[in-house]
């Protein structure tokens, strides 16, 4: 879990071992070579760059 809070609100990312069963995995978009990109996108979103 990662979270950030500021004057404009907050953001939180929660991840677990069932990732393959969430929407992205169920839709067939998840590939093991996507881990680095996913982590980078989550970080950018968490800090407000996306």
pLDDT tens per residue across span 28-45: 776 678 778 888 888 898
**What are the residues whose beta carbons fall under 8 Å from the beta carbon of 1, sequence distance 6 or more?**
12, 13, 14, 15
Average predicted confidence (pLDDT) for the chain: 79
- Which pLDDT score, from 0 to 100, does residue 29 have? 72
The range of the structural domain enclosing residue 32 comes to: 2-46
- Which pLDDT score, from 0 to 100, does residue 21 have? 62
6 bridge partner residues: 9
Q: How many domains does the chain have?
A: 1
- Which pLDDT score, from 0 to 100, does residue 17 have? 62
């Amino acid at each position: 879990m990662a979270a950030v809070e500021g004057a404009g609100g907050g953001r939180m990312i929660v991840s677990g071992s069932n990732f393959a069963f969430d929407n992205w995995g169920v839709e067939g978009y998840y590939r093991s070579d996507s881990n680095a990109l996913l982590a980078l996108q989550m970080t950018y979103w968490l800090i407000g760059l996306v």
